[in-house]
Amino acid sequence: MSKTNEAAALDQTSVIHSTFTLERTFPQPPKKVFQAFADKETKRRWLIEGEGWNIHAYDADFRIGGSDASRFDYKGGPELTNDTQYQDIVADQRIVFSYRMTMGGKPLSASLVTVEFTASGKGTVMTYTEQGAYFDGGMEAAKGREEGTRWLMDRLAAEVAR
Amino acid sequence: MSKTNEAAALDQTSVIHSTFTLERTFPQPPKKVFQAFADKETKRRWLIEGEGWNIHAYDADFRIGGSDASRFDYKGGPELTNDTQYQDIVADQRIVFSYRMTMGGKPLSASLVTVEFTASGKGTVMTYTEQGAYFDGGMEAAKGREEGTRWLMDRLAAEVAR
């Protein structure tokens, strides 16, 4: 699609739909990688802690029908919110969740994420698929989400190697 | 993709990801079509009532962060459940929701749906995009969802024409 056509598409709709899939291998077994999503304090470390990030609120309820909620900013910038709902969980194999994000009170996106864990030798192949809807000219947000998720997966890898 | 390759793909993953978009035009204005999603009793009529359907439970809370829950069966078959979470709402313009379905207690799918309403003359162009994850050999479910949604949109059209 040419740039001109992309611009035309943006004029016709306020929502951009975009899907990406990341595959990562870990030397640790599926149980260990799964646990980094399931355990509240472990997840907090790789998902929202880090230099420059200020955490205003964090709660996690890892069960089908349960919700997570986090509120944070980066170096005093606008508040970001992440509200997650667990859609399906199969222990050590699969986690499916939806989440919506806002920045400074403005809706940014809603997404459906499928994380699958498969044993490979002593390690794990993890497949992360995010089906996203980005609001109000969110083409840049759609592009940035994949990059941001790759960065988070690096943090996850460091966490499970601790 | 050949049938053989489809079968191979099913062996490699327990989740099928599939997206479809439906566009429908209505002679009624956006406010009227939007209301058929927003009003609890109106929505009940086109979404889950009808000959052969037994409704065990129905609740709706149409606001960002709110949830719907319905439990029903078709002619005494296995119980179906639909749990919906509202991700974003812009009055008369946009509704984004996630929902998960089970049948007989078995998880079937989780989806992210974007419904956009655009005025067109005195009527409405509605765009319905469903980004779905179908569990455990859900290729047939993925195919059936689009067909089932077209049928629901016919019921929606009849409802707004009442």
Task: Output the pTM of the full model.
Answer: 0.91
What is the per-residue DSSP string for B107-136?
A: EEEEEEEEEEEEEETTEEEEEEEEEEEEES
Query: Which of A96, A38, A117 has the alpha carbon at shortest distance from B134?
Result: A96
Average pLDDT of the residues of chain A:
91
Which are the contacts of B150, defined by CB distance < 8 A and separation ≥ 6?
Answer: B22
Beta bridge partners of B125: B25, B118
Q: Model confidence over A127-159: pLDDT tens digits?
A: 999 999 999 867 888 889 999 999 999 999 999
Q: Which residues of B touch A112 (CB under 8 A)?
A: 98, 110-112, 131-133
Q: Per-residue pLDDT tens for A13-28?
A: 589 999 999 999 999 9
Residue of B nearest to A93 (CA): B14
- B100: nearest CB among A14, A88, A90: A88
Report the percentage of chain A scoring pLDDT > 70: 91
Residues of A in contact with B100 (CB under 8 A): 64, 87-88, 96
Calpha distance B61→B120 (Å, rounded)? 29
Q: How many CB pairs (< 8 A) connect A and B?
A: 93
pLDDT tens per residue, range B1-21: 333 444 434 444 589 999 999
- Give the percent of chain A with pLDDT over 90: 85
Residue B88: beta bridge partners? Answer: B96
Neighbours of A1 (CB within 10 A): 7
